[in-house]
Chains A and B, each alone.
Chain A
Amino acid sequence: MTSRMLGIGFLSPAIISVCIFFLLPVLLTVVFAFTNMSTSTGIMGGDYRINTEQLRSLPDLDVSEATVERLETAGFQITEAGLTALADQFSKDTAEELREDYLGETFESRRDLERVLKDLDEPIRRTRDRKEAADLFAVTLIGERFGTEEEFRAALGTTGIDAVDHDVLTEFAYTGWTWTTDNFSLLMELPSTLRYAANTAFYVVATLTFNILFGLFLAISTFYLPGRLANTFRAIWFLPRILPPVLYVLMWNWFTWDNGFIATVMGWFGVPAKNWMMHTSTHAWTAIVLINGFVGASLGMILFSSAIKAIPTSMLYASEVDGANRWQQVRYIILPQMRWPILFMTSYQTLSLLTSFEYILLATDGGPGRSTEVWALAAFHTALNNYGGNLQYGFGAAYALVLVFIGIALSVAYLRFFNFKELLSKPRIEQ
């Protein structure tokens, strides 16, 4: 087997799954961002229908008055054609009876006609059948759903709508999604956009700063502690990283809620009980930064610790012999070695913080007053999760697309910065 074939064989399963669940979604996100897809348009295309609610806005459309009137009044009419169909599909007697009493009559709604069908001497007994029977007499298309454009246009013809108005009405009646760039103009227009962007920037900068400073502090201080003590502290700070987020945030909720730990302890000093996470936006931000920061700091601790361990001990001993105090040791020997890990941590975490919302969702859900709503959470809320059940996939995708662009741009920048070529040492066996 050649190594080329083996390489393709080895790589393809990974590539296929990445393509399906990674690259394809990126492409689809781009596509969706240019649609008005939402709960009411559905995702998989739509039907054609005009209901009585829509009738009210018909006058706003560019259609003739005759058309509006025809649509409103067409109703259900007892015609010979309909009666023949009724005789075929249901019973001759029923059709005969209907002809005698009602031929030529028009009913405004299907329900009126269904009542007639039910009260005949030879009634149609099942509700389902009555509806089908009534449909044989339909002239109107109000309230009917048509699966395809052809069917709808045909129905417009049957109802007797002037052909000039067909195009406008067809577009009006379509329930599916359409292409649009409105999502982006909406993003520009909405005052919330700027706030979410500012929230995100604050969140990323504050959390990142905390992560790095505190991660450094943890790494350096545990470095100077005797082994067992250091390990204890490392264990304490490592746990947030691997505990399930749902549980980790639950612990914070317990710590901060109205009858929780802080409130109880502060209660001893006469401070009235309050929710220390949600009291004001300052409280909420503090909680968010700490919740994320504790997790991030543990990553920083591990990264920086291993970088410190890589410093040759001889350097440290030498500095002690030279009479450097601990602070000088940190300042002149350890910190300069931390430059790359810090850079790496910064670039890496900027991206993951930009797009992560899990902890915020669980902790404050963007509250109070949307003050901790970050961009990624706004995308999630808009597209998938809000009280009204009003899921705007298209608009949400537009939010997401902004992040996709930032993500790609940053990654490419990092690639250049961290000298991609170095990673690319040629396989040696082939030469």
Chain B
Amino acid sequence: MTNLFRQTALVGVLAGLAAPAFAEDINITVWAGGSNDSDSYRIEAIEIAADILEREAAILGEELNITVEGRRDFSGWDEFKQGVTLGAEAGTAPSIVVTSHLDIAPWSTAGYIVPVEDYVDLDAWPLSNVYPNLMEIASYGGTQWGIPQDAESRPFFFWRETLEGIGYTEDQIDALPEMVASGEYTLANVLEDAKKALDMGLIEEGYGFYPRPSNGPDYAQFYQSFGGELVDPDTGKLVLDKAAMTEFYQFFVDAVAAGITRQNHIGTDWNQWYNEVANGRAAFWHGGTWHFGRYAREGNDDFWNTIQFSLIPAGDDDGRANTITHPLVYLVMNQEDDRVEEIAAQLVAIATEPRLNSLHAIQSNHLAVAKAQSDIDLYRGDRWASEATEVLLGAANSQPNHLNYGAFSEAMFRGLEAAWSGVQTPEDAVAEVEAQMRATIGDDLIVR
């Protein structure tokens, strides 16, 4: 309570004394979810931006002291989101968060975040240079709430040696991304080839197709592979395509039955998982563009000659090869002091400078958010960044910013878990998902 009083008083003082020589102290806290050491520039870029803003202010004769305090030691997305949400309710939220764009819909509705468009000029550099589709992903309900912090996409990976072992020539492997994109090479072929590799003893049981071991946007890709649509473009409602969902679950059940995927795969330790896929224990798997750097740290420093990557293959003729881009965004959180929000938004804008953002993009193997970044040597010189952009980003779509998407994706994954681990048949699982979605999403859902 005293804190509140003091802050109100401070605002009053600030408003009353708009004297030029007034030294202003601003504390900015930045929380970044899902970040480890290689993502340190999510916070450090804000620190650099603070330095720049202080200098700009100094030139104008104002003394501005910005203290940036960062935090990224959360044990997972669950804890991070819980912390931010409860903090926002309690008025102790950080000034800036780096989080999934999917949080924009619920958090803006709850009033936890403020629109960046209120504080910074979207038509001016550097925000005018950000890819418009990424800006679109960071907006909701006609308002620009956030600024994209990074871009990525989620490719399908192949272990070259295993493919060669089952009879592919090097040229054929090189042509795989195109075959996947055109729909010639589908998930059915993945099953077939993985089985072949298993039968020939090139891989162990359970290591034919080795998916991500925890919930994530990745699984929506397989729903799309079988023709599922996440959102209806006309009405903006979420879509449960039962046929696509059933086939999507069935694919994982088939993979288990064929012995190429483990029934208890979900929950595999991430470190073990990285280590195994980076060193060729799995034939097929999927991941994200940032895995490139991780594989090197796991001891595979010859990515280009050991691993091939492509879009996620189509599941059948109804579906399409696709990939989901799931940009993280900078969001400015509602604060008692409007001035903090304003400074925070300006820092976010400065941190989007191509040079600053490239630091993060290259260090963590993410993709650029702004066009000008491809002119920066650091970024241009990176083979992975440029090739991944070329192969993947053109066909990438994102998950919808929808108030109920969280419930949708949660239900979808639970259904998958139940079918995959053999607790339910795909049909039963989909029926339960439908019941769950109808109950929790209601009018915002279209069932096909």
Produce 1/0 per residue, A374-413, CB < 8 A to B: 0000000000111111110000000000000000000000
The answer to whether A386 and B264 have CB atoms under 8 Å apart is no
Q: Which residue of A43, A186, A370, A387 is within 8 Å of B423 (Cβ)?
A: A370
The answer to whether B423 and A118 have CB atoms under 8 Å apart is no
The answer to whether A368 and B417 have CB atoms under 8 Å apart is yes
Asked if A142 is at the interface (CB within 8 A of a chain B CB), the reply is yes
Produce 1/0 per residue, B431-448, CB < 8 A to A: 110011001100110000
Q: Which residue of A46, A143, A189, A272 is within 8 Å of B142 (Cβ)?
A: A143
The answer to whether A131 and B118 have CB atoms under 8 Å apart is yes
Measured in the bound complex, the distance between the Cα atoms of B215 and A109 in whole Å is 38
The answer to whether A281 and B423 have CB atoms under 8 Å apart is yes
Produce 1/0 per residue, B104-136, CB < 8 A to A: 011101111000011111110000000000000
The answer to whether B109 and A40 have CB atoms under 8 Å apart is yes
The answer to whether A127 and B141 have CB atoms under 8 Å apart is no
The answer to whether B235 and A56 have CB atoms under 8 Å apart is yes
Produce 1/0 per residue, A355-371, CB < 8 A to B: 00000000011011111
The answer to whether B78 and A39 have CB atoms under 8 Å apart is no
Task: From known contacts A143-B142, A275-B267, infer whether A175 and B432 are also in contact, taking CB-CB under 8 Å.
Answer: no
Measured in the bound complex, the distance between the Cα atoms of B405 and A365 in whole Å is 22
Q: Which residue of B120, B140, B421, B440 is within 8 Å of A371 (Cβ)?
A: B421
Asked if A326 is at the interface (CB within 8 A of a chain B CB), the reply is no
Measured in the bound complex, the distance between the Cα atoms of B82 and A399 in whole Å is 18
The answer to whether A389 and B119 have CB atoms under 8 Å apart is no
Q: Which residue of A53, A60, A192, A259 is within 8 Å of B272 (Cβ)?
A: A259
Q: How far is the CB of B27 from chain A (nearest CB, A)?
A: 20
Asked if B269 is at the interface (CB within 8 A of a chain A CB), the reply is yes
The answer to whether A275 and B268 have CB atoms under 8 Å apart is yes
Task: From known contacts A128-B118, A368-B421, A369-B422, infer whether A53 and B142 are also in contact, taking CB-CB under 8 Å.
Answer: yes
Q: How far is the CB of B97 from chain A (nearest CB, A)?
A: 11
Task: Flag the segment in B289-297, B386-394, B406-414 that touches A.
Answer: B406-414
The answer to whether A390 and B142 have CB atoms under 8 Å apart is no
The answer to whether B418 and A370 have CB atoms under 8 Å apart is yes
The answer to whether A387 and B78 have CB atoms under 8 Å apart is yes
Which residues of chain B have C-beta atoms less than 8 A from A283's C-beta?
Answer: 264
Residues of A32-51 whose CB lies within 8 A of B: 38-44, 46-47, 51
The answer to whether B106 and A53 have CB atoms under 8 Å apart is no
Which residues of chain B have C-beta atoms less than 8 A from A272's C-beta?
Answer: 204-205
Which residues of chain A have C-beta atoms less than 8 A from B267's C-beta?
Answer: 275, 278, 364-365, 367-368
Which residues of chain A have C-beta atoms less than 8 A from B106's C-beta?
Answer: 38-40, 389-390
A-B contact pairs, 9 of them (CB 8 A): A39-B106, A40-B109, A43-B89, A57-B235, A111-B117, A192-B436, A278-B268, A364-B267, A369-B420
**Known interface pairs A51-B141, A52-B141, A386-B410; 8 further A-B residue pairs with C-beta atoms within 8 A, sorted by A's residue number:** A43-B89, A186-B439, A186-B440, A190-B436, A369-B424, A387-B409, A389-B102, A389-B106
| 4 residue pairs, one from A and one from B, having the closest CB atoms | A51-B141, A389-B81, A390-B406, A388-B406
